[in-house]
Amino acid sequence: MPNPSVFFVSDGTGITAETFGNAILAQFDVHPHRVRLPFVDTVDKAHRAVERINHAARNEGRPPIVFITLVNADVLHVIRECSGLVLDMFTTFIEPLETAFGIKSNHRIGQFSEVTSSSRYADRM
């Protein structure tokens, strides 16, 4: 069976989706074809991303894996309609944390990039 396609879709650079997704994929003996789709920040771009994901699904005969980090609800809705297995890292973690903290998250693009550029993060590296 050929290597599966894995898409990393983000409304920012895609680094967060790719880093987290690769950490998860490392737990499996697979060698997927990785496709990063950064800056998917409009509905039009989301539709183009879905076309690519659905094309891979048709060609491979199985749903590709799609790791997403999307803030915009309209963009998120479009991506969720694709033929891939969508793994939404923000919804998976943020919604339970909002409940635990009793507050809503900021829902801002690029927050992880700000964390990784901090002096505290650099000191740890």
Residue-level pLDDT at 92: 87
From the number of C-beta atoms within 10 Å of its C-beta (0-12, 13-18, 19+), residue 66 rates as buried
Question: To the nearest whole number, what is the mean pLDDT of the chain?
Answer: 89
**Which range marks the domain in which residue 47 is found?**
5-124
Per cent of the chain over pLDDT 70 is 83
Q: Specify the number of domains making up the chain.
A: 1
Confidence check: pLDDT of 125 > 50:
no
Global pTM? 0.82
Q: How far is CA 50 from CA 45, 63, 96, 98, 123, in A?
A: 9, 12, 27, 29, 39
CATH label of the domain that carries residue 94: 3.40.50
CA 47 vs. chain centroid, Å, equals: 15
Structure tokens at 56: 């891979």
Residue 73 has a pLDDT of: 93
